[in-house]
């Protein structure tokens, strides 16, 4: 088996499409080499080796060593120097992880590998740059000691042990803080000595001298880091399977730390926060690797490189164009300049906010880089709600006190109680508090807190800092480098603009402008919401709004499935239709019974012991229901409305406290003992599987009769006003063909009566929910009478899994952590299990009634992955809550492209 793929000198074994095997970094290094960009040579050890490593007690395939030796030979030939050479210029390498999807900050990179007490001297001799050579060696021992040998801060230590040694030395020698780049060659030599002593003290062993031993150790550490805690947390958040594994890249070093004509940088080909077409990033002179993002020295905006290093900058601008033309997407690049010469070290599609994604996609269509279908795919459906997220209320902002400014790293508005530590932030969020995580800078250890927070505020760090990176990816509101805030971790306070805020106090941050405000600010809906829902004229003129509309227009062209909404009121219906819903997929009639004193009539109906009494109570409910449906039909103007008959168990409507029972007794003149008795009678051990759904209508046909009458009378009234109506009556919880027949017969009979009484005809349909496994399995029987199916995937998931959604809290986390569930099955459809039931129902339903209308109305209808699954099933529509309609439209369009 080929385990090693080399690249260099314009040639490569791999290419950009091989991310599964080579990881993202390795595949793109090969690709950049092939298109002629200046990339130092190297090779990738494939992800298959990682899989082998974990399957075989952390050992390697036997042919790997020979293949790696050939890889090193290839580098030596191109670079004209030898790995471990103690006489001439030695070949040094970077050992870099690279998973299929980039996992920022998760894996550890080791630079300058191959140095030892001999090769450092040959490096000095070959470069005549003593400070540089010993700087490399010092960095190498530090990185290798940390990542491979595990010399890290232990419990009770506040700082990394290597940092403690450096700080100690600086104070001992210079009596003050100086930056690392000011350390002399002698300083570096001394530090190497002290670092090695530290390694010996902590590990009991000497620092490995043999370059090959170093290389194998580093590769092993990269593979091992795939299973470290941070990597696991990250994978869980982004649903990356553990089986994917990581690749290891071994690459010839280029040096950004040789002096003033060298440096290191990271940049985006366009602005990933707001989408503006400008080169965006940071650069540090005389620096290596992580210096730029580590926050030890403050990097400069990359634009300033133009003055300091005009030639490599011009070359970089050319590379920027070549990359965008080639990858047809915004790139996030890492580069190093060695003595005036530019080298590219990494490229990948840049993470971006939803706002930037929208602008990139629109601009690139205009520039002819991509077509409109690609543009649709470039907007992640699960991020779209960022665009709909609130902004600060303008009136509130005018009143608020502006405390500080920072870099706008993640757009949006967030207000919350401040916490200075990730664990405390996460704990507070768990209790339901809105939380802002405030730190000097963040690191991967803070991930839990960042996930929990509404927004992130840092005092240090730039646009490529860890906080900015993660915020962009998670769509968090974020401000970085707000230098005016002073954080005291011990006292748990934040001082800014003469005020002191304690943990638990409120701050507000505007990640679009970079402004920090004191106190809690009210938020206002985004322009897209006000433009669409309120028809706000100013909002409609914004670029964001116009781009959003264009995107939705393209979705319309691409999509096969339509999107309906779950709505119970005319107002919800109006909003959903404005967002592009083409009908109602679910109206829950029971929600209507909780308004005003309708509940009294409902309770009277339930308490009734005779048919007459029940009919009398139902007669009181009828006008209410008719009025509701009239409003909905009028708003829909001829779009279809699926109305579900009464579904929940009756006891949900009953008064459960003594006070409520006495109150009801007075209101309807039924003795309180009788009420208590009835509540008692209706108690169920397992209401989810109890007397609910069509079981109610079968036990009490008069309920179905009343509801059907309300629907059809409303339809008749609206039709008379020359407004088209399309009622679709839906029978819930059907598992037997007979259940459906019994209920449908009532509905049809009432329809006939009402049409005769009102002297008007209109079209209507009767169909069912498919939400219990038996219904799915016998769908051919049910389809004899049912004109449509709507998958009620909440109940279908509960009944198929035998798991109650309301009782799942206790084991959901362990189930996700141990990967029993890859995702919460109530949020994302369990395609493998529940999906099979749906597939069966679709096939059987169509075998009886080829043109049967199929839809879904569970919560899953607004979840992008589930929507995509529904597309593959060939459903006609998905239905979701009004504000999820754009998300569902985007996901449905993407599924069809």
Closest CB 302 distance from Mg ion, rounded Å: 16
Element (H, E) at 365: helix 354-366
**Do the beta carbons of residue 793 and residue 833 sit within 8 Å?**
no
Q: Could you tell me how many residues of this chain bind ligand ADP (CB under 6 A)?
A: 15
Distances (CA, A) of 764 to 638, 639, 725, 751: 12, 12, 8, 9
Phi, psi of 271 (to 5 degrees): -65, 115
- Among ligand ADP, Mg ion, none, residue 251 binds (CB under 5-8 Å by kind): ligand ADP
Closest CB 98 distance from ligand ADP, rounded Å: 7
Q: For residue 704, what are its two tokens?
A: 């179905």
Closest CB 346 distance from ligand ADP, rounded Å: 5
Q: For residue 157, what are its two tokens?
A: 């230590």
Q: For residue 358, what are its two tokens?
A: 């929208």
**Do the beta carbons of residue 409 and residue 273 sit within 8 Å?**
yes
**Tokens 């080499």 identify what position?**
33
| Residue selected from 345, 438, 730, 857 as contacting ligand ADP according to rule CB under 6 A | 345
Straight-line distance from the first to the last Cα atom of the chain, in angstroms, rounded to the nearest whole number: 36
> What whole-number distance in Å separates Cα of residue 192 and Cα of residue 139?
9
Residue 251 or 346: which CB sits closer to Mg ion?
Answer: 346
**Do the beta carbons of residue 255 and residue 338 sit within 8 Å?**
yes
Q: Does 442 bind ligand ADP (CB under 6 A)?
A: no
Per-residue contact track with ligand ADP, 128 to 167, x per CB under 6 A? Answer: ----------------------------------------
Helix (H, G, I), strand (E, B) or coil at 402: strand
Which residues have a Cβ under 8 Å from the Cβ of 97 and sit 6 or more positions away? 23, 25, 106, 107, 108, 109, 222, 225, 226, 246, 247, 248, 249
Closest CB 378 distance from ligand ADP, rounded Å: 23
Name the β-bridge partners of 414: 509
Q: Is 872 exposed, middle or buried (0-12, 13-18, 19+ CB in 10 A)?
A: exposed
- Among Mg ion, ligand ADP, none, residue 573 binds (CB under 5-8 Å by kind): none
- Binding residues for Mg ion, rule: CB under 5 A, are 334, 346
Closest CB 105 distance from ligand ADP, rounded Å: 6
Closest CB 133 distance from ligand ADP, rounded Å: 15
Q: Does 33 bind ligand ADP (CB under 6 A)?
A: no
Residue 267 or 592: which CB sits closer to ligand ADP?
Answer: 267
Distances (CA, A) of 82 to 75, 129, 171, 427: 9, 19, 38, 53
CB atoms near residue 422 (< 10 Å): 21
Q: Does 111 bind ligand ADP (CB under 6 A)?
A: yes
Q: Does 707 bind ligand ADP (CB under 6 A)?
A: no
| Residue selected from 246, 346, 361, 589 as contacting ligand ADP according to rule CB under 6 A | 346
Using alpha carbons, select from 252, 192, 231 the residue that is nearest to residue 100: 231
Closest CB 353 distance from Mg ion, rounded Å: 20
Closest CB 95 distance from ligand ADP, rounded Å: 8
Residue 234 or 392: which CB sits closer to Mg ion?
Answer: 234
Q: Does 47 bind ligand ADP (CB under 6 A)?
A: no
> What whole-number distance in Å separates Cα of residue 439 and Cα of residue 422?
9
**Do the beta carbons of residue 878 and residue 563 sit within 8 Å?**
yes
- Among ligand ADP, Mg ion, none, residue 879 binds (CB under 5-8 Å by kind): none
Name the β-bridge partners of 641: 584, 727
Q: What count of residues does the chain have? A: 897
**Tokens 């300058």 identify what position?**
112
Residue 225 or 258: which CB sits closer to Mg ion?
Answer: 225
- Among Mg ion, ligand ADP, none, residue 531 binds (CB under 5-8 Å by kind): none
Residue 379 or 442: which CB sits closer to ligand ADP?
Answer: 442
CA 157 centroid distance within chain? 34
| Residue selected from 334, 363, 713, 795 as contacting ligand ADP according to rule CB under 6 A | 334
- Among Mg ion, ligand ADP, none, residue 99 binds (CB under 5-8 Å by kind): none
Closest CB 293 distance from ligand ADP, rounded Å: 8
Q: Is 612 exposed, middle or buried (0-12, 13-18, 19+ CB in 10 A)?
A: exposed
Residue 335 or 392: which CB sits closer to ligand ADP?
Answer: 335
Judged by CB under 6 A, the chain residues 244 through 303 that form the site for ligand ADP are: 251, 253-254, 264, 289-290
| Residue selected from 109, 257, 473, 565 as contacting ligand ADP according to rule CB under 6 A | 109
- Among Mg ion, ligand ADP, none, residue 771 binds (CB under 5-8 Å by kind): none
Active-site positions? 466, 857
**Do the beta carbons of residue 694 and residue 772 sit within 8 Å?**
no
| Residue selected from 16, 40, 693, 855 as contacting ligand ADP according to rule CB under 6 A | 40
Closest CB 109 distance from Mg ion, rounded Å: 5
Residue 251 or 338: which CB sits closer to Mg ion?
Answer: 251
Name the β-bridge partners of 584: 565, 641
What counts of helices (H) and strands (E) characterise the chain?
Answer: 37, 34
- Among ligand ADP, Mg ion, none, residue 442 binds (CB under 5-8 Å by kind): none
Contacts 24+ apart (CB under 8 A), 192-201: 192/120, 192/134, 192/137, 192/138, 192/141, 194/165, 194/169, 195/138, 195/141, 195/142, 195/145, 195/162, 195/165, 196/141, 198/145, 198/151, 198/161, 198/162, 198/165, 199/141, 199/145, 199/149, 199/151
Q: Does 94 bind ligand ADP (CB under 6 A)?
A: yes
> What whole-number distance in Å separates Cα of residue 27 and Cα of residue 12?
10
Closest CB 10 distance from Mg ion, rounded Å: 22
**Do the beta carbons of residue 641 and residue 710 sit within 8 Å?**
no
- Among ligand ADP, Mg ion, none, residue 111 binds (CB under 5-8 Å by kind): ligand ADP
CB atoms near residue 882 (< 10 Å): 21
Closest CB 208 distance from ligand ADP, rounded Å: 20
Closest CB 114 distance from ligand ADP, rounded Å: 12
Q: Does 96 bind ligand ADP (CB under 6 A)?
A: yes
Phi, psi of 825 (to 5 degrees): -70, -15
Residue 40 or 518: which CB sits closer to ligand ADP?
Answer: 40
Q: Does 837 bind ligand ADP (CB under 6 A)?
A: no
Contacts 24+ apart (CB under 8 A), 259-263: 259/129, 259/132, 259/286, 259/339, 260/285, 260/286, 261/309, 261/337, 261/339, 261/340, 262/286, 262/336, 262/337, 262/338, 262/339, 262/340, 263/287, 263/305, 263/309, 263/336, 263/337
Q: Does 336 bind ligand ADP (CB under 6 A)?
A: yes
Interface contacts to ligand ADP, rule CB under 6 A? 40, 94, 96, 109, 111, 251, 253-254, 264, 289-290, 334, 336, 345-346
């Amino acid at each position: 088996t080929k385990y090693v793929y080399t690249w260099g000198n314009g040639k490569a074994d791999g290419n950009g499409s091989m991310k599964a095997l080579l990881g993202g970094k390795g595949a793109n290094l090969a690709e950049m080499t092939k298109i002629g960009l200046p990339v130092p040579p190297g090779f990738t050890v494939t992800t298959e080796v990682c899989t082998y490593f974990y399957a075989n007690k952390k050992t390697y395939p036997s042919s790997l060593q020979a293949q790696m030796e050939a890889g090193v030979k290839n580098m030596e030939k191109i670079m004209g120097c030898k790995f471990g050479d103690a006489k001439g210029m030695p070949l040094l390498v970077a050992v870099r992880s690279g998973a299929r999807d980039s996992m920022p900050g998760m894996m550890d990179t080791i630079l300058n590998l191959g140095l030892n007490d001999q090769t450092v001297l040959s490096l000095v001799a070959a470069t005549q740059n003593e400070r540089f050579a010993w700087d490399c060696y010092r960095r190498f021992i530090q990185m290798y000691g940390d990542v491979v040998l595990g010399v890290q801060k232990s419990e009770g230590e506040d700082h990394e042990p290597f940092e403690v040694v450096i700080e100690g030395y600086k104070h001992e020698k210079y009596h003050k803080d100086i930056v690392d780049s000011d350390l002399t060659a002698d300083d570096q030599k001394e530090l190497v000595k002290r670092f090695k002593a530290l390694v010996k003290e902590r590990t009991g062993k000497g620092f490995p001298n043999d370059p090959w031993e170093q290389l194998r150790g580093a590769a092993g550490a990269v593979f091992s880091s795939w299973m470290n805690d941070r990597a696991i947390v990250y994978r869980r958040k982004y649903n990356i399977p553990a089986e994917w594994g990581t690749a290891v890249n071994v690459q010839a070093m280029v040096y950004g730390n040789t002096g003033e004509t060298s440096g290191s940088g990271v940049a985006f080909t366009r602005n990933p926060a707001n989408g503006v077409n400008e080169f965006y990033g940071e650069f540090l002179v005389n620096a290596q690797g992580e210096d730029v993002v580590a926050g030890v020295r403050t990097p400069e905006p990359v634009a300033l490189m133009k003055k300091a290093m005009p030639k490599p900058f011009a070359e970089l601008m050319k590379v920027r164009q070549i990359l965008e033309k080639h990858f047809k997407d915004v790139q996030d690049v890492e580069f190093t300049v060695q003595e005036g010469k530019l080298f590219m070290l990494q490229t990948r599609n840049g993470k971006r906010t939803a706002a930037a994604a929208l602008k990139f996609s629109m601009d690139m269509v205009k520039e002819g880089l991509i077509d409109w279908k690609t543009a649709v795919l470039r907007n992640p459906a699960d991020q779209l709600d960022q665009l709909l997220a609130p902004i600060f209320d303008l009136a509130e902002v005018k009143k608020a006190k502006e405390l500080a400014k920072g870099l706008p790293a993640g757009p949006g508005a967030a207000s919350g109680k401040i916490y200075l530590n990730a664990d405390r932030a996460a704990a507070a969020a768990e209790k339901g508090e809105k939380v802002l995580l405030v730190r000097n800078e963040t690191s991967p250890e803070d991930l839990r807190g960042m996930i929990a927070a509404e927004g992130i505020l840092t005092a240090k760090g730039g646009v490529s800092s860890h906080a900015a990176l993660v915020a962009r990816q998670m769509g968090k509101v974020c401000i970085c480098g707000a230098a005016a805030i002073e954080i005291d971790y011990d006292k748990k306070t934040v001082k800014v603009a003469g005020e002191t805020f304690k943990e638990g106090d409120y701050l507000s941050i505007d990640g679009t402008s970079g402004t920090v405000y004191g106190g809690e600010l009210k938020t206002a809906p985004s322009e897209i919401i006000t433009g669409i829902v309120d028809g706000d004229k100013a909002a409609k003129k914004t670029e964001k709004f116009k781009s959003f509309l264009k995107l939705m227009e393209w979705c319309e062209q691409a999509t096969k499935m339509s999107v309906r909404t779950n709505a119970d009121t005319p107002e919800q219906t109006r909003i959903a239709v404005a967002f592009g819903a083409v009908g109602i997929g679910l109206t829950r009639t029971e929600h209507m019974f909780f308004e005003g004193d309708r509940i009294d009539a409902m309770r009277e109906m339930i308490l009734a012991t005779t048919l007459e009494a029940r009919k009398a109570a139902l007669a009181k409910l009828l006008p209410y229901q008719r009025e509701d449906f009239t409003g909905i039909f009028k708003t829909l103007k001829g779009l279809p409305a699926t109305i579900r008959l009464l579904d929940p168990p009756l006891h949900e409507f009953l008064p459960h406290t003594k006070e409520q029972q006495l109150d009801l007794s007075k209101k309807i003149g039924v003795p309180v003992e009788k009420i208590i008795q009835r509540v008692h009678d209706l108690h169920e051990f397992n209401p989810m599987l109890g007397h609910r759904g069509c079981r109610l209508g079968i036990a009490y046909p008069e309920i179905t009769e009343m509801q059907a009458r309300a629907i059809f009378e409303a339809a008749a009234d609206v039709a008379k006003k020359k407004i088209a109506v399309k009622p679709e009556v839906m029978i819930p919880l059907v598992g037997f063909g007979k259940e459906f027949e019994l209920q449908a017969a009532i509905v049809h009979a009432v329809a006939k009566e009402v049409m005769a009484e009102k002297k008007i005809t209109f079209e209507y349909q009767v169909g069912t929910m498919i939400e219990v496994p038996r219904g799915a399995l016998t769908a051919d029987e049910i389809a004899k009478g049912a004109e449509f199916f709507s998958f009620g995937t909440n109940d279908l998931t509960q009944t198929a899994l035998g798991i109650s959604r309301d009782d799942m809290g206790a084991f959901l986390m362990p189930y996700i952590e141990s990967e029993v569930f890859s995702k919460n099955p109530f949020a994302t459809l369990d395609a493998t299990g529940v999906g099979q039931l749906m597939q069966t129902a679709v096939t059987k339903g169509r075998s009886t009634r080829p043109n049967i209308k199929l839809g879904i109305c569970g919560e899953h209808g607004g979840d992008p992955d589930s929507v995509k699954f529904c597309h593959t099933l060939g459903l006609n529509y998905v239905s979701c809550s009004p504000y999820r309609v754009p998300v569902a439209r985007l996901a449905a369009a993407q599924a069809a492209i």
